[in-house]
């Protein structure tokens, strides 16, 4: 029965990041497929079967009012958070279901623009809000931030500017935060619970004057793992948690400095060929230059999520080498964002499998469908995801189960 439920839905996801720049939860986009009503109790039971105590908090984001109504009607207390779009509450029947669901103890999240918050009579049904800022709200927030900075430096500030307050409400969720400055204002200065998505382009643009470096925490973790004489699998896992460190490692193992006779086309092969002593020395050389900016962490972790999902979407069977290659394909698929160069030129510098190059650059070959689907699932483009399933003959059931399993395992990773 659970199979028929997942086969009748289109899913997508968006990470929620907290003030520590750690994963605070996942927004799961859910849209019913076709005209038939979704069996909401079976959907919720399916999620309950997959989720563990270590799995991230889940915010269900129904993409159509009919599905929202079914979830509100049937979800028991203790279910995942359920998002309710403010624009849909003009429907009196839906509002009545919201009130009843709140009465049963469901955790509901109001979603809409900060400028159009619900009145007090409706707001009491919600435990939190997922808010978007208008251009005016964003400008006002950044202005109060600039005034606060000027005051800290002792610069003169007009009285009217000193009296102005930020429109940002503490303790809420925010989405579509487009700049690093606004991100820091929401999370650090106004204690937002989390932001949905991350302003990758602006964060990387703010660091454009210096080459990006691997994360200090990842290098430290790998050095500690070597000191503890952990397994080769543990080393490979840690190395694969930082796309830039993985890239640097493979570039080094293929360089004249190491003098290997054959090309290194995987992290595992590089670890075997390099040896633990040489690896420890190389990591020590990286450490003084490592990145410590916490705003880079969600960017790295989002790239790892794509790699994990790409690997899960392609049924690699028992072939561990194949699974590692597919993971590397997903991990390196956004290196152009980190290095500021065309992907083709970046990938041609390493003796990688042609399958990786074909999937990332040419969008062809055996890995292309899995990588393309992994990218699509990062969005709420439900029509696009459906079309990809048809184009690549991928079943919704299998795609959705791969996504949910990947997400459920995040907390335990």
Look at residue 159 and tell me whether its pLDDT is greater than 70.
no
Residue 118 DSSP one-character state:
P
Confidence band for 156, pLDDT divided at 50, 70 and 90: low
Of 151 and 333, which is predicted with more confidence?
333
Q: Distance between CA 379 and CA 349 in Å, rounded? A: 31
Closest CA to 350 of 278, 246, 250: 250
Q: What is the model's pLDDT at position 191?
A: 94
Query: CB–CB of 173/130 below 8 Å?
Result: yes
Average model confidence (pLDDT) for the chain? 91
Average pLDDT rounded to a whole number, residues 149-170: 67
Query: CB–CB of 278/365 below 8 Å?
Result: no
- Of 110-114, 271-275, 372-376, least confident by mean pLDDT is 271-275
Look at residue 157 and tell me whether its pLDDT is greater than 60.
no
Kind plus residue range of the DSSP H or E element containing 12: strand 9-17
Q: How many CB atoms lie within 10 A of CB 354?
A: 9
Residues 6+ apart with CB under 8 A from 263: 254, 350, 351
What predicted TM-score, i.e. pTM, was given to this entire model?
A: 0.93
Average pLDDT rounded to a whole number, residues 236-259: 91
Chain segment 106-131, per-residue pLDDT in tens: 999 999 999 999 999 999 999 999 99
Q: Please name the residue that has the structure tokens 């997942």.
A: 6
117's torsion region: left (phi>0), alpha (psi -120 to 50) or beta? beta
Q: Distance between CA 318 and CA 58 in Å, rounded? A: 30
Q: What is the model's pLDDT at position 412?
A: 44
Closest CA to 60 of 69, 52, 115: 69
Average pLDDT rounded to a whole number, residues 304-325: 85
Closest CA to 377 of 413, 337, 405, 355: 405
């Amino acid at each position: 029965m659970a199979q028929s439920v997942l086969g009748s839905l289109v899913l997508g996801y968006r990470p929620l990041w907290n003030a520590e720049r750690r994963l605070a939860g996942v927004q799961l986009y859910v849209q019913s497929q076709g005209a038939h009503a979704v069996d909401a109790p079976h959907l919720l039971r399916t999620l309950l079967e997959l989720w563990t105590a270590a799995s991230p908090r889940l915010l269900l984001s129904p993409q159509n009012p009919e599905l929202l109504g079914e979830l509100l009607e049937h979800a028991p207390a203790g279910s995942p958070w359920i998002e309710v779009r403010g624009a849909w509450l003009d429907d009196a029947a839906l509002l009545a279901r919201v009130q009843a669901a709140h009465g049963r103890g469901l955790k509901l999240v109001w979603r809409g623009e900060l400028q159009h918050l619900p009145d007090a009579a409706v707001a009491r049904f919600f435990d939190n809000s997922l808010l978007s800022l208008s251009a005016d709200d964003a400008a006002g927030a950044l202005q109060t931030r600039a005034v606060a900075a000027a005051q800290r430096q002792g610069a003169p500030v007009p009285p009217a500017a000193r009296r102005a307050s930020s429109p940002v409400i503490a303790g809420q969720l925010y989405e579509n935060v487009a700049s690093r400055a606004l991100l820091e204002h929401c999370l650090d200065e106004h204690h937002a619970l989390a932001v949905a998505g991350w302003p990758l382009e602006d964060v990387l643009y703010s660091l454009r004057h210096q080459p990006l470096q691997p994360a200090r925490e990842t290098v430290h973790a790998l050095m500690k793992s070597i000191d503890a004489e952990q397994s080769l699998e543990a080393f490979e896992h840690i190395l694969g948690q930082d796309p830039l460190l993985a890239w640097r490692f493979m570039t080094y193992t293929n360089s004249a400095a190491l003098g290997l006779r054959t090309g290194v086309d995987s992290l595992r092969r590089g670890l075997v060929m390099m040896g633990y002593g040489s690896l420890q020395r190389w990591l020590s050389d990286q450490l003084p230059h490592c990145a410590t900016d916490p705003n880079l962490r969600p960017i790295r972790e989002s790239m790892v999520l794509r790699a994990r999902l790409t690997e899960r979407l392609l049924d690699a069977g028992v072939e561990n080498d194949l699974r590692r290659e597919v993971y590397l394909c997903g991990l390196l698929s956004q290196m152009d964002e980190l290095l500021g160069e065309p992907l083709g030129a970046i990938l041609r510098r390493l003796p990688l499998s042609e399958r990786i190059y074909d999937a990332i650059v040419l969008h062809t070959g055996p890995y292309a469908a899995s990588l393309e689907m992994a990218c699509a699932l990062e969005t709420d483009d439900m029509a696009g995801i459906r079309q990809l399933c048809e184009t690549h003959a991928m079943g919704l059931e299998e795609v959705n189960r791969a996504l949910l399993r990947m997400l459920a395992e995040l907390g335990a990773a």
